[in-house]
Amino acid sequence: MQVHINQKLLGANELVAKENRKRMAEKGVYLLNLMSSPGAGKTTVLEKTLPLLKERIKVAVIEGDIATVRDAERIAALSVPVVQINTHGACHLDATMIQAVLDKFDLDNLDLLIVENVGNLVCPAEFDLGEAAKVVLLSTTEGNDKIPKYPLMFHEADGLLINKIDLLPFTDFSLEEVAKDLQKINAHLPTFPLSARTGEGMEAWIHWLLQKMQEGRERP
């Protein structure tokens, strides 16, 4: 017997993502999915971002890693509420993992929940978490060919951070090439070159993020 089901493989994930999105909207929490390759500097960018955000809004973090709680410890050191998810080998977070930890936060007293996804440019693009926005982080040491190599991730992004621009003179990374590639993949992608190490460019990115959150509140 042949049974036609025509069912999406990730249909279950999409349903849970929808629930997460609805819950966040009800609670007025902006859910941000931060993605990058391993070592691009997601945690370091957060370490610099969070103290600046904390002055203005209530923020918390979900740390996704294959193993260890090291990143969560770095965030907790900033007195920001943080929950670590260990995926035990899985290369991405999914909506169910997020749903399972949402109760650990005081959602009524929260404006922004940042999810630091597992370092990977391929798989996280497939798994909707229920986020309001996807931000991709690229670092100058990775080279700018990451954009044409992983077009889906950059096509779906709502914002792009280019970290480690203090190292630009020592790499072959070209901001012009990035702009050219983005023209073909996501022409109007807001892009923020910055250095989490020196603090350069941080204000522009934070300003944009706060504005996005404001827009999200006005047009949920």
Partner 1 sequence: MHEMALMESLVSVLREEAEKNDIKEIKKVKMTVGTLTHALPSALQFAFTVLRESTPFAPLATLEIETVSAQAKCLACAQTFDVSDEYLFTCPHCQAFTIKIIAGRELKIDYFEGE
The residues that touch partner 1, with contacts defined as CB under 8 A, are 1-13, 90-92, 94, 120, 122-123, 126, 148, 151-152, 155, 181, 183-187
CB of 143 or CB of 151, closer to partner 1: 151
CB of 3 or CB of 67, closer to partner 1: 3
Which 3 state secondary structure label does DSSP give 63? strand
Q: How far is the CB of 214 from partner 1 (least distance, A)?
A: 25
Non-local (6+) Cβ contacts of 194 within 8 A are 45, 161, 162, 163, 165, 200, 201, 202, 204, 205
Q: How many CA atoms lie within 13 A of 177 on its CB side?
A: 10
Q: How far is the CB of 182 from partner 1 (least distance, A)?
A: 9
Q: How far is the CB of 95 from partner 1 (least distance, A)?
A: 12
CB of 53 or CB of 128, closer to partner 1: 128
Amino acid present at 203: E
CB of 150 or CB of 205, closer to partner 1: 150
Determine the Cα–Cα distance for residues 30 and 47; give it in Å rounded to an integer: 19
Both structure tokens of 167:
């190292």
CB of 53 or CB of 115, closer to partner 1: 115
Q: How far is the CB of 117 from partner 1 (least distance, A)?
A: 12
CB atoms within 10 A of CB 45: 25
Cβ atoms of 148 and 142 closer than 8 Å: no
Determine the Cα–Cα distance for residues 202 and 16; give it in Å rounded to an integer: 33
Q: How far is the CB of 64 from partner 1 (least distance, A)?
A: 13
Instruction: Identify the CA nearest to 84 among candidates 70, 95, 99.
Output: 70
Q: In what order do the strands lie in the sheet with 133-139?
A: 82-86, 59-65, 112-116, 30-36, 133-139, 159-163, 191-193
CB of 1 or CB of 67, closer to partner 1: 1
Q: How far is the CB of 4 from partner 1 (least distance, A)?
A: 4
